[in-house]
Amino acid sequence: MTVDFKKALRDAAIPTTEAELRQAWEAEVAAQGAKVSNTSAYSPFWRVMTALVTKPVMWILDFIAGTVLPNFFVQTATGSWLDMLAWGVNVTRKGAQRTSGVLLFTRLNAGGNLEVPAGTVVQSAPINGHVYQLVTTAAGTFVDGKMQLEIPVQAVEEGSGYNLAPGYYAVLPQPVPGIAQVVNADNWMTTPGADPEPDDELRLRVRNQFSAVNQWHTDAVYRALIAAFPGVRPDGIYFDHSAPRGPGSANAYVLFDAGVPAASYLEQINAHIRDQGNHGHGDDLQVMEMPVQNAMLNLTVFLPAETSQAERDALQNNIKQFVRAAFRENTDYHPTLTYPQSRFSFSRLLKELHEEFPEIVSMRTPALDLQVGLWIPRLQTLNVNIANV
């Protein structure tokens, strides 16, 4: 829904253009009994009126219609204006946060002790031109006989882009002697990174707050409690009221973008609800990760025969990352995402690939659309084959 605030002013009989203002001035001059014989655009009188009155009035009208009136309403308010409306219902914009977690280091042989120093940098391969880096926050020591070790890490900067899916962080820009490989394994994140909460998400939380005023065990109240945590979108919380643990029980499934935080993060949310009394009498609600089902995709991409091998390799990698973005493994491309309780269209995905990479001549996939229930599809296998037209 789009609101035309200038139309609202016109409906109130307020002139909103220079021509309408001039007509109003002329009518007022006549009503006061004054006579102006020269009313052309070059008239000194009207030039003075335009310079001293009409232009300042237009500035005020534009400010009222373009800034003041839109920022009176949650739907159209932005920035600090929206922050003030949110404050009025006891909601505060969530700030930015760095991703933290653990990486799994594997060494070359098990003999002796080996230390991975604090400050060791591990990064992703380039994703649409972006390289994400994590740094170890403590030294990790392999004891004699141990081949693998989890070491705590933190993103070098704040932002949700660092919440990459397992397998993305696998590059040591500066090799560490004795280390064979490093990777972010399943459930590697202990705290997801976050950008400053965008206006659209803050609007959803403010709107939800109007349904949560009773402060009893309703979906809106639980949505408000859960969405207050970094990395949780208010429209990414799905409720199951089918009494999974008997009468009075329910589940709240949280859909995370890209990487999924470890169970310890969900336990923080559950503890906030359970241990601080944020539930109704006899109410049993548990917060869980959105269930996952594996998906496979084979994609054949046809390119002009004259495309060089380097161009083919780069395009193949970019197409993979674009498709993985659709399945919520990274956030550097912006395709249509998978959602629970919806239909994921592969024909739309192919259309978006054509738009993103115009050098593609044609594509083919045997995959059928995914009819998604209360779960989210994750790519188990992705094959992108490059062929000549």
User: Do residue 105 and residue 170 come from a single domain?
Assistant: yes
Statement to judge: residues 161 and 138 lie in one domain: yes
Residue 144 shares a structural domain with residue 232: no
The answer to whether residue 124 is domain-embedded is yes
The answer, yes or no, to whether residue 210 has pLDDT greater than 80, is yes
Model confidence at 34: pLDDT above 80: no
User: In the prediction, which pLDDT does 104 show?
Assistant: 97
**Cα–Cα distance between 129 and 268 in angstroms, integer?**
34
Cα 139 to Cα 188: distance, rounded to the nearest angstrom: 18
Whether the per-residue pLDDT at 208 is higher than 70: the answer is yes
- Does 114 share its domain with 161? yes
Please report, rounded to a whole number, the percentage of residues in the chain having pLDDT higher than 70: 94
Residues 260 and 312 in one domain: no
Closest CA to 147 of 109, 94, 91: 109
- Which of 289, 311, 332 is where one domain is finished? 289
Mean pLDDT of the chain: 89
- Please give the structure tokens belonging to residue 46: 């009207």
- Structure token pair of residue 60: 């005020």
Cα distance between residue 352 and residue 338, in whole Å: 14
Contact between 128 and 208 under an 8 Å Cβ cutoff? The reply is no
Q: Which of 238, 261, 289 is the last residue of a domain?
A: 289
| 241-260 per-position pLDDT tens digit | 888 888 888 899 999 877 77
Count of domains observed in the chain: 4
In a domain, 166, yes or no: yes
- Whether 35 and 120 share a structural domain: no
Q: Where residue 117 sits, what CATH number does that domain have?
A: 2.40.30
Residue 281 has pLDDT above 80, yes or no: no
Predicted pLDDT of residue 263: 84
- Residue 97, pLDDT > 70, answer yes
Higher-pLDDT residue of 262 and 187 is 187
* Cα of 388 vs its chain's centroid, Å: 36
At residue 3, the pLDDT reads 81
Single residue among 289, 305, 328 that ends a domain in this structure: 289
Domain range for residue 308?
A: 292-388
Segment 291-299 mean pLDDT: 93
207 lies in a domain?
Answer: no
Asked if 249 contacts 284 with a C-beta cutoff of 8 angstroms, the reply is yes
Higher local confidence (pLDDT), 367 or 281: 367
Q: Report the run of H or E that residue 318 belongs to, with start and end.
A: helix 309-326
My answer on whether 108 and 184 are in the same domain is yes
pLDDT in tens, 39-79: 676 777 767 776 778 888 889 999 999 899 999 999 999 99
Residues 165 and 104 occupy one common structural domain: yes
pLDDT of 274:
79
DSSP string, 63-104: HIIIIITGGGSTTT--HHHHHHHHHTTT------BEEEEEEE
pLDDT at position 359 is 94
pLDDT band at 280 (very low <50, low <70, confident <90, very high): low
Model pLDDT for residues 336-389, shown as the tens digit of each residue: 999 999 999 999 999 999 999 999 999 999 988 999 999 999 999 999 999 988
- Residue 1's pLDDT is what? 64
* Residue 35 covered by a domain: yes
Residue 25 pLDDT > 80, yes or no? Answer: no
Q: What is the mean pLDDT of residues 289-311?
A: 93
Q: Give the contacts of 320 (CB within 8 A, at least 6 positions apart).
A: 382, 384
Q: How far apart are CA 192 and CA 232, in angstroms?
A: 9
Q: What is the CATH number of the domain that holds 267?
A: 3.30.300
